[in-house]
Structures are given as structure tokens and as C-alpha cells.
Amino acid sequence: MNQATNEVIVEITDLHKAFGQLEVLRGIDLSVRRGEVVCVIGPSGSGKSTLLRCVNLLEVPNSGTIVVNGFEITDPDVDIDRARQGIGMVFQSFNLFAHLTVLENLTIAQRKVLKRGKAEAERVARENLERVGLAEKAGSLPAQLSGGQQQRAAIARSLSMDPQVMLFDEPTSALDPELVGDVLSVMRQLAEEGMTMLVVTHEMQFAREVADKVLFMDEGVVVEQGAPTQVIGDPREERTKSFLSRVL
């Protein structure tokens, strides 16, 4: 989207993660600059989710360093609650609180974590519901929304915390095909507004059009990375070619 600056927001160096004997990440290097959209593609089981989960310490790496917004996440003394405040995360499943209205889902963390007052939290929540096209759903319960609307509400909830970087883990994979487009257009709009985004996705068209950089991962390593026109349009590595021939 050409809004990238030189300020590095996420810097990952030689990241390793194993579950028992299974080495899932085997030396990942990655940097994301402010305003940049980086898409991670690759086959199931290649370690994409684990990589994203390491960035906000939902998984603890075995070695390597991760710095996000100046916080060294991998430092055992890091104030992880403060570090996480700058990181928004949107998963495949929407994880909204079922018994709370959409508005309450958007205000609860603002009030508890950011200590915003009720009026301020509601103002921010409504602003972000507007941003994702759900202004009229503030009073609804999650079950009254379609999957695509729930995912947009989850995105609005993350945005309400003023993240410096947004992590998306296959945000459209659980959606019926006709609902995918609305979620992707919200993400595209965020990218255009200059949001820094690290996105695991199978949506090649989105990656091609929106990403500044695409990483192809396989078996815990970055096989190839570069501009989408290169990695998706003209891949160099056999493994990338073979993956793309299966998904395109």
C-alpha cells in the first residue's frame, strides 16, 4: 500500500519454537515497518499461527528475539500486559463474549485495561463500529449477527484498543464464502488508512493487492519473501510454485 515508513514495529530474529520434539519454527527472521502490510502464506502445519502467537507471547519461543513497539517480548522481564496493549489480534474464530452486546464487547477491555470512562469507551466503540460498517448493531448480541458481522465486530473491538500493529490469523477461513468479501474490504480499508498489519491468509487475491510484502512459509522456515508480484506472481522456489499451483 506504499505507506510503509522506516520505523520498524515488529522485528523477529532467528525465532525457534518447538512443541516437545516437533520443531515448528526453525529460525524465522521478519521485520514489519510502520504502515506496512505483510502477508504470511503457506501450507497447513507450516507454523504460521505459531509465529503469530509468538508475537504476543501466547506461545513462548525457545530462542530468538521478538521486539514489538520497542518492547522486547522475549525478555523474561518484559511487562507483557503493557506490551500486549499495542498489539491487536483477530483470530479465525471471533471470540466475542456471547452474553454481552456488541457495544459491551467493544467497551469492556477499554474500561478494564485502558481505564477509560464509560462515555469515552462508548464513543470510541461507536466510532470503530462505524468504521467496520456495524453502527446499527451496537445493541445486538453476537448470536444475532452473521459470521462476517461477528468478525467485523471483533476487528472493531481490537481497533478500540488503539493498537500499533494488528495481527490477523486467517480471519476469513471460518466464514461462508459470501461473507468473506465484507471482512476483506474492512481489512483493505485499514491498510489504506495506514494500519500496520501482519496477516496470515489463504486469500491470494487479497495478498496480491494489499500486501507490501509476502512471506511464504513451509515446515517452519521462510522459504521466500518479497513483493507480492514476485512471491505470488513470479515465485523463484519450487516449494512456493507447488503451493501456489494448489491454491490458485
Residues that bind ligand ADP (CB under 6 A): 19, 22, 24, 42, 44-50
CB of 167 to ligand ADP, least distance (A): 12
User: Buried b vs exposed e over 111-136: b needs ≥16 C-beta within 10 Å?
Assistant: eeeeebeeeebbebbbebbebbbbee
DSSP 171-238: TTTTS-HHHHHHHHHHHHHHHHTT--EEEE-S-HHHHHHH-SEEEEEETTEEEEEE-HHHHTTS--SH
Please state the closest distance from residue 48 (CB atom) to Mg ion, in A. Answer: 5
Does 49 engage in binding with Mg ion (CB under 5 A)? yes
3-state secondary structure of 9: strand
Binding to Mg ion by residue 50, rule CB under 5 A?
A: no
Alpha helical stretches, state H, the chain = 48-55, 80-85, 102-112, 118-131, 147-159, 177-192, 204-210, 228-231, 238-247
Size of the site for Mg ion (CB under 5 A): 2
Measure Cα distances from 84 to 46, 59, 160, 161, 178 in Å.
25, 13, 14, 10, 33
**Binding partner selected for residue 157 from Mg ion, ligand ADP, none, CB under the kind-specific 5 to 8 Å limit:** none
- R_g over Cα of the chain: 18
Which of 58, 113 has the CB closer to ligand ADP? 58
Is 172 near Mg ion (CB under 5 A)? no
Applying CB under 5 A, the span of 40-48, 69-77, 106-114, 120-128 interacting with Mg ion comes to 40-48
Nearer to ligand ADP, 26 or 208 (CB): 26
d(CA 184, CA 195) in angstroms, rounded, equals 14
Span from 32-40, 45-53, 144-152, 214-222 in contact with Mg ion (CB under 5 A): 45-53
Q: Of 46-54, 77-85, 109-117, 134-142, which part binds Mg ion (CB under 5 A)?
A: 46-54
Q: Which stretch binds Mg ion (CB under 5 A): 15-23, 42-50, 57-65, 239-247?
A: 42-50
Could you tell which of Mg ion, ligand ADP, none binds residue 105, using a CB distance below 5 to 8 A set by kind?
A: none
Q: Which does 213 bind (CB under 5 to 8 A by kind): ligand ADP, Mg ion, none?
A: none
Residues that bind Mg ion (CB under 5 A): 48-49
